[in-house]
Amino acid sequence: MENRKIKDELIYFNNVVNFSSTSLRNVPTREQAKWQRKTVVTLALTFLTSSQAKLIVWSKRAGKYEYSVTTANFLVETLKCALSLAALARIWNSEGVTEANSTTLDEVIVYPIPALLYLVKNLLQYYIVAYVDAPGYQILKNLNIISTGVLYRIILKRKLSEIQWAAFILLCAGCITAQLNSRSDHVLQTPLQGWIMAIVMALLSGFAGVYTEAIIKKRPSRNINVQNFWLYIFGMAFNAVAKLIQDFDAVMNKGFFHGYSIITTLMILNHALSGIAVSMVMKYADNIVKVYSTSVAMLLTAIVSVFLFGFNLTLAFFLGAIVVSVSVYLHSAGKLQR
C-alpha cells in the first residue's frame, strides 16, 4: 500500500512538472513579445496609411475642401493628445506617478523642434500641388525614402549594410515605377518651385522622423504615452497659430466645423491613429520600417482603388509592386547578415 502511494505521488509530481514546462514554453520571451508588438503596430500603420488617401478623396465636395484644413489638422493633434493623456491617466491610476511615466523640463524643451518641422511639412504639401499634378506629387514624395536613409545614418549614427542601401534604392525605383502612367513623359516636368518644395518637404519629413526617433529612443524606459503627449501638446499650439494666421476670418464667419461631415470625422480619426502608430513604430522599430510600411500602403491603396474608384492597374504598377516586394525582402536579408 505504501509503495502504491509513493508511486501515485511520483506520477502526480511528474505531471505537474510536465504541465509547468509546457506552460513556460508557451510564455513569450521578451524578444518574442517585442517582435509581436513591432509586427502589430507596423501592420496597423500600413492599414491606416493605405486608407488615408481614400478618406481624403471622399472628404472633398465638387473637387474641393469645404472644411478648413487647418482646423482639421488642429483636431488631429488634439485627438492624439487626448488619447495619450487618457492612456497616461489609466497608467497613473494603476501604477502611480513614477519616473517611467513622467518627464522633466529638460526632456520637454526638445519637443517643439519636431512639432514645428511637422507643421511646416504639412503646410508645404498643400502648396506643392499648385506646381505639380497628383502623379508628379506622388513621385516627388518618394524623395522622403532617400532623405530618411541618409539622415538615419547621419543623425542616429546607424550604418546600413550595402544590401540595405540597394534595397532602399530599389524601393524608391519601385514606388516611382508603380505610379507611372501613359502620360509618364509629362509627369516629371515640374517647375523649379515644385522641385524646391518637394526637396524641402522630403528633408523636413526625414529629419522630423529621425529626430523624433532619437528623442523617443534616448530614454527607452520612458513610457511612449508621456513622449507622445508633449509632442502633441506643441503640435496643437503650432497648429492653433497656423489656424489663426491662415483661416481666422473663415472660421470666425462660417464656424469652426463648417463643411465637416462623417467622412471628415473618419479622416481626422484615421490621421490621429496613424500618428500614434508612427510613434509606436519609432519606439519599437525604427524609421526604416515606417518608410517600408508607408510604401507598401501606397500599393495597397492602389489595389483597393480598383474596386472603389475604378482605378486601372497597369503593367508599370505590377512591375513596381514586384520591385517593392523584392526591396522589402532584401532589407530583411541585409539586416540578418549584419
Q: Give yes or no for a contact between 234 and 108, defined as CB atoms under 8 angstroms apart.
A: no
- For 7-30, the pLDDT digits (tens) are 454 444 454 444 444 444 454 565
Q: Give the pLDDT confidence score for residue 320 in this predicted structure.
A: 76
Q: Is the pLDDT confidence value at 289 over 70? A: no
Q: Give the pLDDT confidence score for residue 142 in this predicted structure.
A: 66
Of the candidates 271, 188, 229, the one whose C-alpha atom is nearest the C-alpha of residue 91 is 229
- For 188-226, the pLDDT digits (tens) are 556 777 778 878 888 888 888 888 888 888 887 788 888
Give 145 or 231, the one with higher predicted confidence. 231
DSSP state of 182: T
Q: Give the pLDDT confidence score for residue 23 in this predicted structure.
A: 45
Q: Residue 319: which pLDDT band, with cuts at 50, 70 and 90?
A: confident
- For 125-161, the pLDDT digits (tens) are 667 766 665 555 656 666 777 777 777 777 777 777 7
DSSP state of 153: H
Q: What residue spans define the domains of the chain?
A: 67-337
Q: Give the pLDDT confidence score for residue 19 in this predicted structure.
A: 43
The grid coordinates listed for 66 are 469645404
Q: What is the mean pLDDT of the chain?
A: 75
Of the candidates 132, 291, 146, 118, the one whose C-alpha atom is nearest the C-alpha of residue 197 is 132
Q: Which residues pair with 64 in a beta bridge?
A: 61
The grid coordinates listed for 60 are 472633398
Q: Give yes or no for a contact between 337 and 170, defined as CB atoms under 8 angstroms apart.
A: no
Give 315 or 332, the one with higher predicted confidence. 315
Q: Cβ neighbours of residue 170 under 8 Å, at least 6 residues apart?
A: 323, 324, 326, 327, 330
Q: Is the pLDDT confidence value at 267 over 80? A: yes
| Residue 140 CB-density burial (10 A; 0-12 exposed, 13-18 middle, 19+ buried) | buried
- Of 106-115, 176-185, 188-197, 310-319, highest mean pLDDT: 106-115
d(CA 311, CA 180): 13
Q: Cβ neighbours of residue 196 under 8 Å, at least 6 residues apart?
A: none
Q: Give the pLDDT confidence score for residue 129 in this predicted structure.
A: 60
Alpha helices in 109-260 (DSSP H): 112-127, 134-141, 143-155, 162-179, 184-187, 192-218, 224-254
Cα dihedral sign, 178-48-258-121:
negative
